[in-house]
Chains A and B, each alone.
Chain A
């Protein structure tokens, strides 16, 4: 396995994005947390560095000028491992900003996986240039609904065929980039009588009549990433914009695959938060004393950090294993869930324990560890809650869904 040291490309990504996180992200993180605003200027800068909103669709080509699949489709890729290495670094800077920079990837992932060449072109076209505010353009992936989060088989949004078009009606909830997106990938049921098999994804451009970006949420954490409702009211979309058109679709199964592919990256972000809190604490312990004795001389403190380090290393190894399996075309469903769920647990545990150790000083407004504690919680909720990951893991062991 080539987790870090003997893979120059991974080491390079870590180094470059680690520096970006420290120099560019950290200094503005508290501001965007406080203001609950997207870091548009930084997002533009990141785009300039190759962190484009279409990176997932473009694959390696954007970075190296060459597509990995050229030649042999069975050859191991490195995209998933690059994704986890990069995600950890960006989230080390700020998870909210990491999601602002990378949130479009959620929408890009099904386009890359199921989109036709035309749809990929359309996706790229819609994300080109700047909007009326001078902001770069971002994408949103709209699956969840007010009454349907974990159990996506209950989707109520419909896409009714009407000539060359589908007419989409329904409400989407908690959509990342939901208020600002230039393009949405919306999941809707094209044939309610077919149940899960009827669920398909559609590319919908901002400005399409009937697409109504809704209220922006005020959140506990990842406040630099926008979350909003999106409404579809008789929204007509050409049938060519249905993902997987002309191919056999697994309906809802497609969305599950989409989530399997992003889970290791999400787990890696959680690792980034845990590492941020850990590094902060190490520095603080090195300089701190307890009634005159150095904090590092106390097992109460030093062993707690040793424990955190074990957990962080384990979580990182898991996300890299899940990504490595994806890159080697191995079924990583169980491993992706393990990596995501464990990363979330470690991020929450480490930040919570760090706050307790820091005591009153971490009650200061804008304290970074307190922010990381709030940010960490989302990793147990979105992209499949902690319970849903355990359900997937348990089902892979016993073959049934326990209740």
Chain B
């Protein structure tokens, strides 16, 4: 086993870290206040290969060969250190582009890739509780219900939807024009161009249905593996950032005649957060590594990767919540006001455990089904 990064991985981590330290962190507070990413994010990140890294070269993208989820997890940790909202925008195209590239019809590929190549965004939705109404026919799907709130949905042209129709899994590419979109700015990831999409018996043509039945179950597991791995990696970055701020503050702030960072109770908070973040980072990298090794038609490799990603996500949700809450605690009154960055991080932490639904619940239901 080798835990060292190869040259290419190290270069990616380093490049993204530089971008984050120079630009993203500098923009984060203003973007949070404004509830929008700065317009120059698109150009600067685009130059670094974001947005189109999962779109095949032939379709105007940058993907030449297999996509590496391990590398994506490495960059995710760095992005999380910068701004979770902007990170969501930078990562949002990956799942739709990879899924459509892999399972989409020529029509689906043409539609999505043309939009992404022209600077568009896409996002991913999962009907976690089965509350959407879907019916399937030879002509495609009819969908009623509300998607979101989801990051990027406020501006996206397409949604990659994972759901069930007539009790069968289905994966489809939904054109946002099929519904009524509402852009929103929630409390966390405020730069993330969030939105909802209301669908009323919206028609999704058969060519936009990527998979149904067992094929859709397999595709969903793989798509969720990618997404959860990336979420976990970014969450580790947010936790690291929160505690980095807390550590700096705690060395400077003096109460009772000593820097507060020397009080054992605060060291304990920091150490637990750092331990958690280190664990989540490794779990995310491992999940990414497994995702890169999923073999077509090999259910076991897919299940192992999904399980690793899901575990990483469960822990990530807990760790990032605790780390950011504790960072606010370490800053005391200053932590509660927005002159300091940690209250934003606390708001940002929540979506990691809430997007895609309650991961623990899913795991329990999966285990019960497997062991029945």
Chain A: residues with CB nearer than 8 A to chain B? 144, 147-151, 154, 173-174, 217-221, 227, 288-292, 298, 300-301, 348, 352, 355-360, 362-365, 370, 373-374, 377-378, 380-382, 385-387, 390, 401-403
Contacts and interface: CB of A to CB of B under 8 A. Distances in A.
A288 B317 CA distance: 23
Interface stretch (B101-109, B114-122, B257-265, B294-302): B257-265
B61 to A, nearest CB: 29
Interface in B28-56: none
Q: Which 3 A-B pairs have the closest CB atoms?
A: A291-B130, A220-B343, A151-B255
A305 to B, nearest CB: 13
Nearest to B329: A380
B333 A382 contact: yes
A385 B256 CA distance: 14
Given A356-B354, A381-B329, A387 B337 contact: no
B321 interface: yes
A219 B129 contact: no
A219 B130 contact: no
Interface stretch (B74-82, B281-289, B344-352): B344-352
B255 A150 contact: yes
Given A290-B130, A352-B321, A360 B357 contact: yes
B291 interface: no
Given A357-B358, A360-B357, A377 B336 contact: yes
A288 B358 CA distance: 14
Nearest to B148: A360
Interface in B335-371: 335-339, 343, 346-347, 350-351, 353-358, 360-361, 364-365
B205 interface: no
Instruction: Determine the main DSSP class of B at the interface with A.
Output: mixed
A256 to B, nearest CB: 14
Interface of B: 128-131, 148-150, 164, 184-188, 194, 254-258, 262-266, 317, 321, 325, 328-329, 332-333, 335-339, 343, 346-347, 350-351, 353-358, 360-361, 364-365
A402 B335 CA distance: 24
17 contacts: A144-B333, A174-B336, A220-B337, A220-B347, A289-B129, A289-B131, A298-B361, A356-B353, A358-B354, A359-B356, A360-B148, A363-B186, A364-B186, A365-B185, A365-B186, A373-B350, A403-B258
Given A356-B353, A365-B185, A403-B262, A227 B149 contact: no
Given A173-B333, A217-B337, A300 B354 contact: no
B314 to A, nearest CB: 10
A401 B263 CA distance: 11
B361 A360 contact: no
Given A154-B255, A220-B346, A377-B328, A359 B333 contact: no
Contacts of B355: 359-360, 363
A365 B325 CA distance: 20
Q: Max chain B CB contacts within 10 Å: which of A144, A174, A363?
A: A363
Given A358-B354, A365-B187, 16 more contacts: A150-B256, A219-B338, A220-B338, A301-B361, A352-B321, A355-B354, A359-B356, A360-B355, A360-B357, A365-B184, A370-B186, A370-B350, A377-B325, A381-B335, A381-B336, A403-B256
Contacts of A217: 337-339
Contact of B336 (A300, A348, A355, A378): A378
A327 to B, nearest CB: 31
A14 B329 CA distance: 31
A96 to B, nearest CB: 12
A221 B128 CA distance: 29
Nearest to B335: A381
Contact of A221 (B263, B321, B336): B336
A300 B364 contact: yes
A286 to B, nearest CB: 15
A150 B130 contact: no
B336 to A, nearest CB: 5
B64 to A, nearest CB: 35
A362 B194 CA distance: 13
Nearest to A221: B336
Q: Max chain B CB contacts within 10 Å: which of A221, A370, A387?
A: A387
A150 B332 contact: yes
A387 B256 CA distance: 13
B263 A387 contact: yes
B258 A360 contact: no
B266 A387 contact: yes
Contact of A363 (B149, B263, B321): B149
Contacts of A144: 333
A231 B350 CA distance: 36
Contacts of A382: 333
B333 A381 contact: yes
A148 B336 CA distance: 16
Nearest to A290: B129
Contacts of B255: 148-151, 154
B321 to A, nearest CB: 6
B187 A149 contact: no
B328 A360 contact: no
Contacts of A364: 149, 184, 186
Contacts of B148: 360
Given A219-B338, A300-B361, A387-B263, A362 B354 contact: yes
A219 B263 contact: no
B156 to A, nearest CB: 16
B36 to A, nearest CB: 14
Contact of A403 (B130, B264, B350, B361): B264
B265 A390 contact: yes
A291 B357 CA distance: 12
Contacts of B265: 387, 390
A227 B337 contact: yes
Nearest to A292: B130
B334 to A, nearest CB: 9
Contacts of A362: 350, 354
B233 to A, nearest CB: 19
B354 A363 contact: yes
A298 B321 CA distance: 24
Given A219-B338, A220-B337, A300-B361, A359 B128 contact: yes
A151 B333 CA distance: 13
A363 B153 CA distance: 13
A52 to B, nearest CB: 28
A356 B317 contact: yes
Contacts of B194: 363
